[in-house]
Structure 1
Amino acid sequence: MGAIRLSAVTATFSAIATGILLAGCSFSFGTTPELSAEKLATTLSEKIASTTGQPAPEITCPDVLVGKIGNTTKCKLAAGDGSTLGVSVKVTSVDGDQINFDFKADGSVTPAED
């Protein structure tokens, strides 16, 4: 039964990964170009939901995204069964307060720990 559930989660994550391989976003906040970890997670979740037509997934990001070209962070998308999928975020450009970034899903799912 666990294998069936993991297969369904893998299929769902694969669809999400395909839907978000590269999607650009931009934000403008205050005078320091950075995006809080919480706001980044919320934004990614909303973008994935709108791209896939699925409910917004649970995403956590460990760090603030600082608006410097090339900066990266790695967030995690979590399924209800505890499986996770990495989501890589990379700053592509900065225009004053505006941070532009792309994100993509990793190619593999990390199964839930038993």
Structure 2
Amino acid sequence: MQQQRPAPRLKSAMEQLGAWVLDQPEPTALEGQCCDRLRPNQIQRELLESLKRSGLDGSSLVDWRWDARQGHAKGWLWQAGTLQRFRWWRQSGQLTLHEQLNCTTTAPLQALR
């Protein structure tokens, strides 16, 4: 059986396609909520337990990210009208909070017309 060679135009198109594929940039690293493996369920459970032990059980996680190399989670926490930046070290259980925004209401909210 004789092997057929691709038509010249097809061969040229295939070479251009190969060059295009090799020329594409590498995908960027996944961060934040882009990928659940950056926020494993076991880490989240331990983080929530640590918040509860720290007296922050009425708070809610706004966003957080796990850094496996550093062994800590960091993100944003909402509690009683205050948005706080936090960092939590899994090994020691140490939790640091930095208040970023304090929201209070002095009058009922009204819709703008």
**TM-score normalised to structure 1 length:** 0.39
The answer to which structure has the higher strand fraction is 1
The alignment's TM-score, normalised by the length of structure 2, stands at 0.39
